[in-house]
């Protein structure tokens, strides 16, 4: 390459340089013509590494899991309108789950005289973002290359400001391929906005409530996004003697602490004289009991018990749906728990220990096991034995709370939570994103992957193999959409109709999936199907050793009753 050719700079080169300057290390993508310029620059520049995916939903879920595991955003490229539509469900999950990421869409050409007949017309929208605007934080379609550095910098800044979430920038295809002045330079660094604190008077009010309480109950959901908040919550409980119920948006509180009451939520709500909610998705959801039959809820907290809530959810301005109902009498405060909780701890510490009067919690019931079939309890116990020796991170799949009762969660970031929005196809991509974030550490990333969810995005396994990512994926194979079977059983019972109807359109059988072969077809070590309780422990131990020693992905297909 001549010196003159080497000096040539294109719009897409500037975009990649800008992403690199903003700390973007990876870009997940499924290739598309609308960002062919960006794709070439990605490879040419070499400063942001492409992670190839076979589906746009996987690309977004991968960025979602990476953000939760690393605490940093990555990019996801989505091909004009069709790629954006394909990734829209995964974007909804990321928005609900407050996961920061930079989504880049190749759009255009905006110049109608430069569009190819048919294809460029049907794949160009005005504005491009309309498909997902209601469930992202911010978007932009800058009209000149000179605007790109500022637009991308704003997108990363807004994505990483609490409440964090995905942002979207559409870069015109013609501008990507336009030759530009080499003197154009990217914005340098991500300028983080300050976190939101609380007025002293509000902090004093909460301190007075905690000091007056004998049985304070703390309910936490997304607090575990911040290590500072996680550690401060432990200190707060040590000072006040509070119980904690961890709702599980992240790991919010160690289950090794005597104050953990996650498995005793309803009883604790009934006995509390103060409910203190931190970063909850839906306050009504955490302080009531659901009624699945009548699609309603029952009040749990006694009349007169103060309910106090702190979070930044009120700062979200775009709503694709009503996020939660109103809880009468609750005191809602706007504040970032990463700032507020350390301040509360410092204020309470001046008063000395204010231990509550909660009685000791009863032990959890013994795990349900069987000598004939593998239960979820047995699976949780055996997977814990397989991974406990050495650092680990559970990227996905807590088996309806069973894992929390049997594993030891003692450190920040050991569990990343669920999808947020409940959209299927999240688990595999998110676990692969977490393993990408941990690839240079000795942390074993684990996923309890439900079978139905995996079948939405099974091609994600190829990316795990292609990148040689250290991941232990345990397929929880009950050959059914289990949650929906529960609803169908409820309908059969309510309507006095045959229970056998609940299997139709629900069970994934005839034929049965062979997930080990599905993995092997994509270059992932596949083991199973494991159906004997006696075989489960040794098989999982061997698989975990393979991941740790050989630094590659392994899938174990486990048939669960």
The structural domains of the chain, ordered by start, are 3-180 (3.40.50.970), 200-349 (3.40.50.1220), 376-559 (3.40.50.970)
Inform me whether the pLDDT recorded for 514 exceeds 50.
yes
Could you tell me which of 434, 420, 513 has the C-alpha nearest to residue 473? 434
Could you tell me which of 279, 261, 146, 168 has the C-alpha nearest to residue 221? 279
User: Mean pLDDT across the stretch 343-372?
Assistant: 83
How far is the CA of 450 from the CAs of 19, 151, 195, 374, 490, in angstroms? Answer: 34, 39, 36, 15, 22
Give residue 322's pLDDT.
Answer: 66
What is the C-alpha to C-alpha distance for residues 92 and 489, in angstroms, rounded to an integer? 29
User: What is the pLDDT confidence band of residue 550, given thresholds at 50, 70 and 90?
Assistant: very high
Inform me whether the pLDDT recorded for 357 exceeds 60.
yes
User: What is the pLDDT confidence band of residue 319, given thresholds at 50, 70 and 90?
Assistant: low
Of 195-199, 436-440, 474-478, the one with minimum mean pLDDT is 195-199
**Residue 10, SS3?**
strand
Instruction: Please name the residue that has the structure tokens 């194979």.
Output: 477
What is the C-alpha to C-alpha distance for residues 532 and 544, in angstroms, rounded to an integer? 18
For residue 511, whether the previous peptide bond is cis, meaning omega lies within 30 degrees of 0, is yes
Inform me whether the pLDDT recorded for 81 exceeds 60.
yes
How much of the chain exceeds pLDDT 90, in percent?
73
Give residue 195's pLDDT.
Answer: 84
More confident position, 502 or 50: 50
User: Mean pLDDT across the stretch 463-481?
Assistant: 94
On the CB side of 441, CA atoms within 13 Å amount to 15
Give residue 466's pLDDT.
Answer: 98
Q: Tell if the pTM clears 0.85, that is, is over it.
A: yes
How far is the CA of 349 from the CAs of 323, 346, 382, in angstroms? Answer: 36, 5, 41
Can you give the length of the chain in residues?
Answer: 561
User: Mean pLDDT across the stretch 271-281?
Assistant: 95
Inform me whether the pLDDT recorded for 4 exceeds 60.
no
Round the average pLDDT of the chain to a whole number and report it.
92
Give residue 23's pLDDT.
Answer: 95
β-pair type (392-396, 296-299): unpaired
At 152-207, the pLDDT tens digits run 999 999 999 999 999 999 999 999 999 999 888 887 777 777 788 999 999 999 99
What tokens does 530 get? 């494991």
How much of the chain exceeds pLDDT 70, in percent?
97
Inform me whether the pLDDT recorded for 325 exceeds 50.
yes
What is the C-alpha to C-alpha distance for residues 454 and 460, in angstroms, rounded to an integer? 9
User: What is the pLDDT confidence band of residue 2, given thresholds at 50, 70 and 90?
Assistant: very low
How far is the CA of 319 from the CAs of 277, 364, 417, in angstroms? Answer: 22, 39, 22
Question: Which of 277-286, 469-478, 482-491 shows the highest mean pLDDT?
Answer: 469-478
Inform me whether the pLDDT recorded for 513 exceeds 70.
yes
The dihedral over CA atoms of 16, 19, 24, 25, expressed in degrees to the nearest 10, equals 20
Give residue 318's pLDDT.
Answer: 57
User: Mean pLDDT across the stretch 368-394?
Assistant: 93
Give residue 57's pLDDT.
Answer: 97
User: What is the pLDDT confidence band of residue 442, given thresholds at 50, 70 and 90?
Assistant: very high
Taking phi over 0 as left and psi of -120 to 50 as alpha, with beta for the rest, 241 belongs to left
**Residue 366, SS3?**
coil
Inform me whether the pLDDT recorded for 489 exceeds 80.
yes
User: What is the pLDDT confidence band of residue 63, given thresholds at 50, 70 and 90?
Assistant: very high
User: What is the pLDDT confidence band of residue 66, given thresholds at 50, 70 and 90?
Assistant: very high
Q: How many other C-beta atoms can be found within 10 angstroms of the C-beta atom of residue 365?
A: 9
User: What is the pLDDT confidence band of residue 1, given thresholds at 50, 70 and 90?
Assistant: very low
- Which DSSP helix (H) or strand (E) runs through 466? helix 460-466
- Which DSSP helix (H) or strand (E) runs through 545? helix 533-550
Inform me whether the pLDDT recorded for 387 exceeds 50.
yes
Inform me whether the pLDDT recorded for 25 exceeds 50.
yes
Could you tell me which of 253, 227, 211 has the C-alpha nearest to residue 409? 253
């Amino acid at each position: 390459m001549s010196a003159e050719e080497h000096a040539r700079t294109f719009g897409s080169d500037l975009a990649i340089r800008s992403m690199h300057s903003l700390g973007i290390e990876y870009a997940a993508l499924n290739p598309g013509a609308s960002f062919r310029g960006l794709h070439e620059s990605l490879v040419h520049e070499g400063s942001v590494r492409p992670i190839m995916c076979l589906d746009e939903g996987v690309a977004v879920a991968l960025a979602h899991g990476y953000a939760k595991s690393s605490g940093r955003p990555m990019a996801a490229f989505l091909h004009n309108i069709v790629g954006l539509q394909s990734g829209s469900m995964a974007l909804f999950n990321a928005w609900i789950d407050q996961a920061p990421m930079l989504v880049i869409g190749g759009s255009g050409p905006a110049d109608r005289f430069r569009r190819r007949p048919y294809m460029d017309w049907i794949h160009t929208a005005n504005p491009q973002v309309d498909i997902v605007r209601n469930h992202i934080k911010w978007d932009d379609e800058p009209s000149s290359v000179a605007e790109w550095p500022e637009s991308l910098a704003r997108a990363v800044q807004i994505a990483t400001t609490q409440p964090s979430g995905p942002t979207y920038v559409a870069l015109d295809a013609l501008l990507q391929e336009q030759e530009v002045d080499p003197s154009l330079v990217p914005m340098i660094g991500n300028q983080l906005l300050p976190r939101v604190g609380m007025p002293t008077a509000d902090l004093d009010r909460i301190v007075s409530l905690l000091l007056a309480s004998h049985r304070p109950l703390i309910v936490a959901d997304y607090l575990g996004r911040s290590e500072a908040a996680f550690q401060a919550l432990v200190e707060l409980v040590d000072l006040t003697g509070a119980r904690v119920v961890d709702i599980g948006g992240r790991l919010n509180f160690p289950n090794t602490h005597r104050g953990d009451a996650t498995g005793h939520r309803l009883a604790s709500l009934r006995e509390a004289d103060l409910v203190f909610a931190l970063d909850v998705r839906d306050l009504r959801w955490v302080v009531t009991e659901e009624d699945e039959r009548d699609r309603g809820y029952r009040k749990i907290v006694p009349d007169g018990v103060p309910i106090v809530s702190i979070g930044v959810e009120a700062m979200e301005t775009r709503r694709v749906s009503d996020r939660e109902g109103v809880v009468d009498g609750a005191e809602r405060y706007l504040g970032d728990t990463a700032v507020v909780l350390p301040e509360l701890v410092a204020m309470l510490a001046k008063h000395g220990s204010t231990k509550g009067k909660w009685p000791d919690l009863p032990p959890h019931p013994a795990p349900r096991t069987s000598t004939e079939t593998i239960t979820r309890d047995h699976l949780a116990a055996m997977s814990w034995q397989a991974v406990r020796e050495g650092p680990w991170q559970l990227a996905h799949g807590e088996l309806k709370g069973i894992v929390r009762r049997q594993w030891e969660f003692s450190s920040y970031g050991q569990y990343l939570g669920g999808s947020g929005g409940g959209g299927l196809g999240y688990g595999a991509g998110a676990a692969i994103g977490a393993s990408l974030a941990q690839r240079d550490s000795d942390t074993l990333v684990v996923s309890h992957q439900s079978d139905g969810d995996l079948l939405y995005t099974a091609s994600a396994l190829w990316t795990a193999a292609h990148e040689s990512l250290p991941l232990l994926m345990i397929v929880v194979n009950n050959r059914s959409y289990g949650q929906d079977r529960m609803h169908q059983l409820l309908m059969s019972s309510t309507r006095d109709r045959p229970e056998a109807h609940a299997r139709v359109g629900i069970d994934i059988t005839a034929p049965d999936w062979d997930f080990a072969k599905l993995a092997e077809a994509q270059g992932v070590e596949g083991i199973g199907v494991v159906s004997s309780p006696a075989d489960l422990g040794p098989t999982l131990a061997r698989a975990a050793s393979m991941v740790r020693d050989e630094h590659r992905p392994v899938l174990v297909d486990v048939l669960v009753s």
